[in-house]
A = this chain, B = another copy of it.
């Protein structure tokens, strides 16, 4: 067995974004709009989860969506197709959204008329965790095919989020994925995180997630 050498390589490219994010959140409170920032790897099912959430909450809340992508508008088109206001933010190569970009997108959605705005962040488990978008709550998706070791590799993302959706649980039949190990790894990083086991494809578990989100929206808009 060869020896593993560990080398710390580091570079600081982060700008201070926190002040503007706090101001954005204060505006949202005054407008009684809840902003959810949803993050994950590419292909974890963000758009499908958002569509499932819309289906469960659209009778109770007015909802808008901001889709962030490097390129293309395919996700915003899927949201708009079900009659929900959607804006596509093209980051032109950038790997995350920051609060100034969120503010640009919100302006287009007219958030004063919306109870809930969902950001689908760029598919990436690294950079989006580092930038406060101004959201009221942060949620992330880990899908079963990605593997149960991800909390070990991307600890900041799992530490930053208020909620974790373990998606594609219909894949548990063929994937080597230990749900209990994930829960243990995640709660070690973040004891207060809410964990939901869902399949956006089959709908399993989605009602429990939607109920939690609904209560969070009510708590914010009535505060």
Listed in ascending order, the chain A residues whose CB lies under 8 Å from chain B are: 1-11, 13, 41-43, 69-74, 76-77, 79-81, 83-95, 97-98, 100-101, 104-105, 108, 122-127, 130, 143, 145-147, 149-150, 152-156, 168, 170-171, 174
**Bound-complex Cα distance A145 to B146 (A):** 8
Q: A43-B147, A93-B156 are in contact. List 5 more A-B contacts (CB 8 A).
A: A4-B73, A4-B80, A4-B86, A42-B146, A145-B145
Q: Is the CB–CB distance between A145 and B124 below 8 Å?
A: no
A11 touches B94 (CB 8 A): yes
Q: Is the CB of A101 within 8 A of B9?
A: yes
**Cα A214 to Cα B199 with chains together (Å):** 41
Are the C-beta atoms of B145 and A77 separated by less than 8 Å?
A: no
Report the Cα distance A8→B90, complex, angstroms. Answer: 5
A94 touching B42 in the complex, CB below 8 Å, given contacts A1-B83, A127-B127: no
- Whether B7 lies near A89 (C-beta < 8 A) is yes
**A171 to B: closest C-beta gap in Å:** 7
Chain B residues near A77: list those with CB within 8 A.
Answer: 4
Known: A5-B108, A124-B125, A125-B42. A74 touches B10 (CB 8 A): no
